[in-house]
Amino acid sequence: MPQPIARSAVSSTPMHAGLTSAEAKRQLEKYGPNTMPEDASSSVFAIAKEVLTEPMLLLLLVAAALYLLIGDLAEGLLLAGFAILTIALVFYQHQRSENALAALRKLGAPTARVVRDGKECTILARELVPGDLIVLDEGERVPADGVLISNAGLVVDESLLTGESVAVRKCAGEGSELAAVPGGDDQPFVYSSTLVVKGHGAARVSDTGARTRAGRIGISLASIVVERTRLQISVSRIVRLFGGLAAIVCCALVIFYGVYREDWLQGVLSGIALAMGMLPEEFPVVLTIFLAIGAWRLASIKVLARRPAVVETLGAATVLCVDKTGTLTENRMRVRFLDTLTDQLEVDPDLPDMPQAFRPLVDAAWLATRHASIDPMDRAVAGLVSRAAEYETMDWPMVREYGLKPELLAMSIAWKDDAGHFSVACKGAPEAIIDLCHLTEEKAASIMGHVQAMAEKGLRVLGVGIGTTTLHELPESQHDFDFAFAGLVGFEDPLRPTVPAAVSEALRAGISVKMITGDYPATALAIASAAGIDTDNGAITGDQLERADDAEVKRLVSYANVFARIMPEQKLRIVEALKRQGEVVAMTGDGVNDAPALKAAHIGIAMGKRGTDVAREAAGIILLDEDFGSIVSAVKMGRRIFDNLRKVMIYISAIHVPIAGLALLPLVAGMPPLFLPAHVVVIEMIIDPMCSIVFERTPPERDIMDRPPRPVEDPLAGIAQIVFGLLQGGVLLIVCLGLYKGLLLQGASVEVARTAAFIAVTAGNLVLALVNSSREAIVMHLLERGRITFWIASIIAAAVITICVLQPRLAELFGFTRPEIGEAVLAAGIGMSAVLLFDLMKFISAVRRIIG
């Protein structure tokens, strides 16, 4: 039930115009709750479906099921355990991301003040319906779209919809002859999720939920298909290649063994061992480790990866589309310039003290400001006053406020000083202040020249006046005061301190930076220039894009870097045009207006603090601290992940050759089986993940941010990488198979030969991981800090093998026997020497390009 509140915020609200409870109930049944539709893709069942239908994980589950079907419980349960671990890791990362998002959800107004049954009361915002009369006050978010019917100086921040950092003033009216478009002064429309920064009023609700302006943008996101990342496409291609080849060879081996050897059971067992040697079932484990740890690393620098795979795609970004307000800038106002017409002052943030010549201007601006206001410009004046004004600690009562009017864009505040006299000051549009001061045309023209010079710097300019009155009572009109022109105050939405360096590094890395904003061209160009974005080709406006056909848009986006006065659908059009040119597009933003472009871009990057729920849900990456410099760190992380994934793909391609070969060739050659399923499980599901961690911990190459983005068509693992990996694995296979055959010819038992070959392939496995972890010759960098992980992995792998060989029950399961220490060292040395040859080949530049 609605709870009555003690005081009406708008005394003039026509209480009789509100709905009755019965009418509100019927409207709620007709239109539904005032909420945005839930994203079904975030449900547990949707995530489970997505995970369980991944071909990489299906291969792992099928392999486990095959073992269980033939009654090999130990191997089957081991593989099933790894499958469950993989699923759990994916769910854990998703839940962690969603929990972080839940902590960020602060946008929608949880309650709303309405007039119901002739009384002003507070209800849940979800219960609002069209026709309701809502009460709005300073500091509150508008809970639904509506039309103002009562207004007392209402000023609303609509930057979430328009991208403009300056709030707009409202006027009451039916608005039947106007188009409801966010932005612009003196309109009667208010929009859901925008913020009231000054004044109060009442509005008739016109739309709720998905029918609001913000809601319609959210609904439009459903029609935009989120493209699969290049990482997912590349890995799926490799999995299909390995899987198809494994199926063919496995079936051929089973048929060969059953028909020619008449031993179908051994044929099935050997076929499964071969399939396990060829199937890339470690891919989901490797990818989960890389992306989960990569997401954790990003979280440590306040970058949340909602979909971890997009981190890799960020490393391939060729164009970064940047929203100005709240992304390049701090989304707050700051006094940047003072002009008394005789003296000018650039106001630095660390200005220790205000020069005496400017104190009267600052004092007048302070007197013209509501001291408890949340209006951005008022707060900017308050910040300046803390260094300058003698009135900072005054305790004068405010007697009257004269609000902005469409016919006079200025406001005045009257105070009563300690002596009981009126002190009055005004601020507003320079033209309005000139009018209030009754200046001559010559003086007015001179002032407007100063205004134009400030505007060209991208500043918002207010005029300030100080006034007196000889009357004992305050007049009804601001024109009845005797105002003197005090000067001009220039405001800016300051550039984030980290932006210039971040933009510079992005350009050095070959990434084009384009600024897309709803602000005016002069302001946009000034901010872009300060950020280091190339502005030589000027700014393209929304009107130009509106008139342009697709071919012209393609031309405009190819050479321009600054886009001003852009509407949401035009942002989306820019992103789509860039994508059609083959660019990999990253888009940053924080407002509802950014959401469609965030979702359409290859990488959507939303702001975490000021960002809307709609923007955060549409984005794949969220900057929790809104530090633009973190984007460059994320790009570097993405490039590092791709480089290291390519290295691990070479490694996996290499190690599958000896595993599969040692499972197949002894049987074909008539020798006793060397690898049984248990051996394959140990190598692939224990040692391989350990080696994968070595790759994940590998530091980035020294030139990772000095090279251009990799080409779009550059696969994760192309023919060159696969062939190089197969060549490495082939050499290791020949050496290990030769060791096995040689020991058998010397009369050694199968157990002795198998143990020696297994030790050799394990040692070669570890050195393969080390050799492929860098483009440089690893023998020159063995003791670098980034190699510590390799030594830890080597110790763990050696411990596992030692236990399997020395523990009697395990040795019996694996068909091992205890070797002499010298024999074990010799076998390990043979395996390592077979691989170290490829480390020396890195002195050839072509080989380095293949690895990196």
Q: Are 514 and 585 in contact (CB under 8 A)?
A: no
Given the residues 132, 323, 375, 627, select the one marked as catalytic. 323
Question: For this structure, is 418 an active site residue?
Answer: no
In a 10 Å sphere around its CB, with 0-12 CB exposed, 13-18 middle and 19+ buried, how is residue 371 labelled?
A: middle
Strand pairing report for 585-589 and 189-190: unpaired
Residue labelled with tokens 């530091």? 699
Amino acid in the structure at residue 120: E
Nearest alpha carbon to residue 106 among 73, 66, 141 = 141
Nearest alpha carbon to residue 428 among 473, 472, 485 = 485
d(Cα 2, Cα 806) in Å, to the nearest integer? 75
Nearest alpha carbon to residue 295 among 40, 620, 57 = 620
Tokens of 387: 């260094």
d(Cα 529, Cα 174) in Å, to the nearest integer? 42
Q: What is the CA radius of gyration of the chain?
A: 35
Q: At 296, is the secondary structure helix, strand, or coil?
A: helix
Residue labelled with tokens 């031993």? 263
Tokens of 672: 């006793």
Element at 310 (helix H, strand E): helix 309-314
Element at 791 (helix H, strand E): helix 788-806
The three-point CA angle 148-150-151 to 5° equals: 90
Strand pairing report for 145-157 and 168-169: antiparallel
Give the Å distances, CA to CA, from 436 to 426, 482, 483.
Answer: 9, 8, 6
Give the Å distances, CA to CA, from 71 to 77, 268, 365.
Answer: 11, 12, 85
Q: How far is CA 444 from the centre of its chain?
A: 48
Q: At 611, is the secondary structure helix, strand, or coil?
A: coil
Strand pairing report for 319-323 and 585-589: parallel
d(Cα 98, Cα 96) in Å, to the nearest integer? 6
Question: In 324-476, where does DSSP find H-type helix?
Answer: 359-367, 376-388, 430-437, 441-455
d(Cα 765, Cα 747) in Å, to the nearest integer? 27
The string of DSSP letters for 192-240 reads TT-EEEEEEEEEEEEE-GGGSHHHHHHHHGGGSPPPPPHHHHHHHHHHH
The total number of residues written for the chain in this structure: 852
Sequence-distant (6+) residues with CB within 8 A of 257 are: 263, 264, 266, 267, 270, 271, 667
d(Cα 741, Cα 751) in Å, to the nearest integer? 12
Element at 3 (helix H, strand E): strand 3-4
Tokens of 281: 């079932």
d(Cα 213, Cα 219) in Å, to the nearest integer? 10
Q: Are 357 and 340 in contact (CB under 8 A)?
A: yes
Q: At 401, is the secondary structure helix, strand, or coil?
A: strand
Q: Which residues are annotated as catalytic?
A: 323
